[in-house]
């Protein structure tokens, strides 16, 4: 284990960013989000939850996938994929890191999404253990240890030091390049912090959330529960929950006419909350917000686990709990449906 004084952190960031692009929580216009670090940038490592999750780095909100060029009456397809240079993603919390696993199962399964894969492979992930989780956190429910995330490197931080543990070969390589900034030690401090964090987690109000109903009930029974109607009635059909969610992976493919002879085909995040989400030429098979709302949670709690060996596609980051404009969230769904099990 290595450690570095907190006052030297900027040196660390500068050192990393000198070699490879460094993405980490930065504060811009008052909000913490992942961004490209440049010397002098206002970092926001201590913010528990960035507004958007870290998935942006592998699966950006908007991404060009191909370009078309017309010349007179001919059209050519331009492959714009380039090799992605190695980069460092720094400060990823355990929940967000777990979310990568959820995304990998979608994007890296056959057929592989090469856009995602290229970025995923190029990235060295430095995870960051939580010290003070808050009441909206419930990662424990999904078997995540917020005090001990993995990734290529894991860091802990207290008021004095940042502690550094390499986990993988990629991690070692990164460690090597900045080793000179570190001193040895800190195991004990980390251990103490972990114990304390775990104690807090035990006490969090959602930590005892029971998901067994979703594991043990017939899909259609859940689907047909009458409570969905009441649960969804305040839903505004905005996409906040899906866009702040670290595991939501839906996208739309659209085209943009950049000039008369140039068309950009890009993909961008889509939300199952939107009324045109399942719009097809024949019409839309989800016509009410209840159906759309149900879809989102059925996907997280039932469909995805069904297809992925029981892995829920929620990691308990609690962003939706904090950010839903009308305070609807997955916890309310789990409690309402799971609380009264059908006989």
Residues that bind another protein (CB under 8 A): 28-31, 33, 51-52, 61-62, 70, 72-73, 134-135, 205-206, 230, 233-234, 236-240, 242-244, 252, 254, 256-260, 262, 264, 266, 268-271, 274-276, 283-284, 287, 321-323, 325-329, 331-332, 335
Which CB, 14 or 261, lies closer to another protein?
261
Measure the CA–CA gap between 290 and 155, rounded to whole angstroms: 42
Q: How far is the CB of 323 from another protein (least distance, A)?
A: 4
> CA–CA distance from 209 to each of 46, 129, 248, 333, 335 (Å)?
27, 22, 21, 11, 8
Q: How far is the CB of 21 from another protein (least distance, A)?
A: 18
Place of tokens 């714009």: 80
Q: How far is the CB of 209 from another protein (least distance, A)?
A: 10
> CA–CA distance from 328 to each of 18, 109, 124, 135, 142 (Å)?
43, 32, 35, 15, 20
Q: How far is the CB of 334 from another protein (least distance, A)?
A: 10
Q: How far is the CB of 339 from another protein (least distance, A)?
A: 12
User: Which of 288, 310, 322, 92 has the alpha carbon at shortest distance from 330?
Assistant: 322
Which CB, 199 or 230, lies closer to another protein?
230
Can you list the alpha helix ranges (DSSP code H) found in 108-146? 114-122
Q: How far is the CB of 79 from another protein (least distance, A)?
A: 16
User: Which of 50, 58, 159 has the alpha carbon at shortest distance from 100?
Assistant: 58
Are 37 and 26 a contacting pair, CB within 8 Å? yes
Which CB, 37 or 243, lies closer to another protein?
243
Which CB, 135 or 169, lies closer to another protein?
135
Which CB, 132 or 179, lies closer to another protein?
132
DSSP 140-155: GGGT--TTS--SSEEE
Q: How far is the CB of 175 from another protein (least distance, A)?
A: 33
Which CB, 143 or 205, lies closer to another protein?
205
Which CB, 161 or 322, lies closer to another protein?
322
Q: How far is the CB of 288 from another protein (least distance, A)?
A: 8
Which residues partner with 164 through β-bridges? 2, 155
Are 32 and 44 a contacting pair, CB within 8 Å? yes
Which CB, 100 or 269, lies closer to another protein?
269
Are 34 and 89 a contacting pair, CB within 8 Å? yes
Q: 299-313 b/e with 16+ CB inside 10 Å = b? A: bbbbebbeeeeebbb
Measure the CA–CA gap between 9 and 104, rounded to whole angstroms: 31
């Amino acid at each position: 284990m290595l450690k570095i004084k907190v006052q030297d952190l900027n040196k660390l960031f500068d050192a990393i960013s000198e070699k490879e692009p460094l993405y980490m929580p930065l504060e811009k216009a008052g909000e913490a989000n992942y961004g490209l670090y440049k010397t002098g940038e206002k970092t926001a490592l201590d913010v528990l939850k960035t507004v958007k999750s870290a998935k942006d780095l592998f699966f950006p909100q908007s991404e060009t996938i191909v370009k078309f060029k017309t010349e007179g009456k001919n059209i050519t397809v331009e492959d714009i994929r380039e090799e992605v240079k190695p980069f460092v993603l720094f400060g990823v919390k355990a929940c967000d890191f777990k979310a990568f696993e959820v995304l990998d199962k979608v994007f890296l399964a056959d057929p592989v999404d090469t856009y995602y894969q290229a970025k995923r492979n190029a990235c060295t992930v430095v995870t960051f253990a939580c010290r003070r989780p808050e009441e909206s956190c419930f990662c424990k429910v999904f078997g995540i240890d917020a005090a001990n995330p993995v990734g290529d490197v894991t860091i802990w931080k207290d008021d004095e030091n940042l502690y550094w543990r390499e986990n993988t070969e990629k991690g070692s390589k990164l460690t090597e390049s900045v080793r000179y900034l570190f001193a040895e030690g800190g195991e004990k401090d980390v251990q103490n912090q972990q114990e304390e964090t775990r104690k807090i987690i035990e006490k969090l109000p959602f930590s005892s959330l029971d998901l067994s109903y979703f594991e043990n009930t017939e899909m259609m029974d859940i689907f047909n529960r009458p409570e969905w109607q009441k649960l969804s009635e305040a839903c505004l059909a905005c996409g906040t929950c899906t866009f702040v969610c670290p595991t939501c992976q839906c996208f739309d493919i659209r085209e943009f006419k950049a000039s008369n002879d140039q068309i950009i085909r890009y993909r961008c995040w889509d939300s199952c909350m939107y009324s045109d989400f399942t719009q097809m030429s024949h019409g839309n098979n989800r016509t009410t917000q209840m159906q759309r709302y149900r879809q989102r949670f059925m996907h997280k709690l039932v469909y995805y686990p069904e297809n992925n060996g029981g892995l829920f596609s929620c990691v308990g980051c609690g962003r939706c709990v904090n950010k839903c404009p009308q305070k609807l969230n997955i916890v309310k769904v789990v409690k309402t449906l799971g609380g009264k099990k059908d006989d």
